[in-house]
Amino acid sequence: MITTGTVETEHLHLRPVIEEDADSVWLLHSDARTNRYNPAGPMTDRSQAEEQAREWAANWVADGHGYWALEESHVPGVVIGFGGIRATNWRGRQVYNLYYRLAPAAWGKGLASELVAAAVERWHELGEHLPLVAYTTAENLPSQRTALKGGLTRRPDLDDVTATYTDVVFALGLDWSSLRNLI
């Protein structure tokens, strides 16, 4: 059971993001490799990382939950990624967004799946009062596999096709009656 902001999983130490994580946000989000599937591309200005860290830290203050900074348990103090859930407006409706982005050195170890499992557990503990939504581009097959492994349901009926990319959607707790607010 998750009862505080900090969570220990088998291989990860998950803690609330703080403003001082801006350097780690910058390193991760300015890296072209971690943004391969991001239509917006990598961050190009360090001030974006500072603002992102402030926003994520503020979620914890306002809501008592939000995205975590991820550290491998055997390497404390070294942030290898960010992720978790936070309340946000998606297509005009309040949802919990499931997010996960890890440094390339952390890829292929099952850590994203471990993070997603903790995030889904947090969603259950919060009472599932908002749907849980994850979306990624059609080309980002590793992210799609992680969402499915975390128990989310693929929702092609909610995909968003633009001129330059397609967002594919995965969700929990998003039933047909709640879709009326999205359409």
Specify the pTM. 0.91
**Amino acid 174: pLDDT:** 84
How many domains does one find in the chain?
Answer: 1
Answer whether residue 2 is part of any domain.
no
Per-residue pLDDT of the chain (183 residues; tens, 9 = 90+): 345 799 999 999 999 999 999 999 999 999 999 999 999 999 999 999 999 999 999 999 999 999 999 999 999 999 999 999 999 999 999 999 999 999 999 999 999 999 999 999 999 999 988 999 999 999 999 999 999 999 999 999 999 998 888 999 999 998 755 555 544
CATH number at 87 reads: 3.40.630.30
**Amino acid 175: pLDDT:** 76
Query: How many Å is the Cα radius of gyration of the chain?
Result: 16
Answer whether residue 19 is part of any domain.
yes
**Amino acid 177: pLDDT:** 52
Answer whether residue 128 is part of any domain.
yes
Q: Does residue 132 contact residue 114 with C-beta atoms inside 8 Å? A: no
**Amino acid 1: pLDDT:** 38
Answer whether residue 108 is part of any domain.
yes
**Amino acid 183: pLDDT:** 46
Q: The tokens of 91 are what?
A: 């297509």
**Amino acid 2: pLDDT:** 43
Report which secondary-structure segment, H or E, holds 14.
Answer: strand 12-16
Answer whether residue 1 is part of any domain.
no
Answer whether residue 129 is part of any domain.
yes
Which residues neighbour 33 within 8 Å (Cβ) at sequence distance 6 or greater? 104
The residue segments making up the domain with residue 120 are 7-179
